[in-house]
Amino acid sequence: MEFKLNFQDSKTKARACTLITDHGKVETPIFMPVGTAATIKGVHQTDLKKDINPDIILSNTYHLYLRPSEKIIEKAGGIHKFMNWDRNILTDSGGYQVYSLSNNTKISEEGVKFKSHIDGSSHVFSPERAINIQKSIGADIIMAFDECPPYPCDYSYVQSSMHLTHRWLDRCIKEFINTPSKYEYNQTLFPIVQGGTYKDLRKRSAEYISSANCHGNAIGGLSVGEPADEMYEMTDLVCDILPNNKPRYLMGVGTPINLLENISLGVDMFDCVMPSRNARNGMLFTIDGTINIKNKKWKDDFSAIDENNYSFVDLNYSKAYLRHLFISKESLGKQIATLHNLAFYLWLVREARKQIINGSFEKWKTITVKRMNNRI
């Protein structure tokens, strides 16, 4: 993977970068739509590519391992061929889902024993197993296997968890180096900074992750219930330690405001289920705040969903029609809302990139955050 720092904002830590894999170019800051089970729920790949137009999307190792299995995906020729997507893909290691979705999880030095949330069957993920599954899936960027402690969590547990994550990383790197690629393109491994909301642990973890000298680095264990100010404090601290010449990925974040604030702290890459999950519940994100389209106030509002026209759906349908779809429980409503929200998120990070390049990011961010902090 190639990485280039194109522009550094002079008033904040925001930056515009480019990373290139064998599946193409990714311009940052970037938001990665989440296709947990090799699909963005309710969105055809054609609409995803032509309308939302992301450089990279995310899928999840835990879910793909359980269904359809990494063997099926490998038999199909890898995840790109399996889901008919010829751009970049990143896979989470599945660690977070093992802890959050599974029953009777048991963590040891060797790895994690867990039961499937689907059928209760027993499974084991070790660092080596997580790497091999991700090699079979075939994403361009794969993640090290880590433990993500809950919030709140006492210092001693977070410290122990952090050291376990570091030891697991050493095993992930060894397995990644020593096992051959299964496809004709290269894969890149990102390690993950942990440490909860404890400054000294975050510092030590960021230093350890930096010393691993991988091609990019991720920040995990945030957006798990902590106040936004604590998230920003941890991100700021970690970004000051992680190397400047490599991409920084903040996992599982967040709201549109979270994105802009963390971009200003030096983060390059984001993913979150929020725009698609909230869309399926009738929440629309806009530059002027959030809309609950199921509210009665929209029942006879025949104006366009969004005059800014982020997605083709925005001018094609009215708020009243979209509300009708939700109230009638028509699946098209969820699809329209998802397309709008994802298109808005992609517009937002790309507009941030333009503002960084133009030297106007700080002023634009301040105005935009105030505009978005509103319920319409």
Q: Where are the alpha helices (DSSP H) in the chain?
A: 45-47, 61-66, 70-76, 79-83, 95-101, 127-137, 155-178, 199-211, 228-241, 256-263, 274-280, 312-316, 319-327, 331-358, 361-372
Of 154, 165, 151, the C-alpha closest to 206 is 165
> How many other β-carbons are positioned within 10 Å of the β-carbon of residue 347?
18
Q: How far is CA 88 from CA 2, 29, 65, 197, 316, in A?
A: 13, 15, 19, 31, 30
Q: Three-state DSSP class for 17?
A: strand
What are the structure tokens assigned to 237, written together? 């601290």
**Active-site positions?**
92, 271
CA atoms within 13 A on the CB side of 62: 26
Buried b (16+ CB within 10 A) or exposed e, 189-213: bbbbbbbbbbeebbbbbbebbbebe
Please answer whether residues 90 and 121 qualify as being in contact, where contact means their C-beta atoms are separated by less than 8 angstroms.
no
Kindly compute the dihedral angle of the four CA atoms of residues 182, 128, 151, 261, in this order, to the nearest 10 degrees: -40
What are the structure tokens assigned to 341, written together? 């929200």
CA pair distance 210, 197, nearest whole angstrom: 19
What are the structure tokens assigned to 111, written together? 């790895």
Could you tell me if residue 38 is left (phi over 0), alpha (psi between -120 and 50 degrees) or otherwise beta? left
Burial group, residue 273, by CB count within 10 angstroms (0-12, 13-18, 19+)? middle
Q: Three-state DSSP class for 341?
A: helix
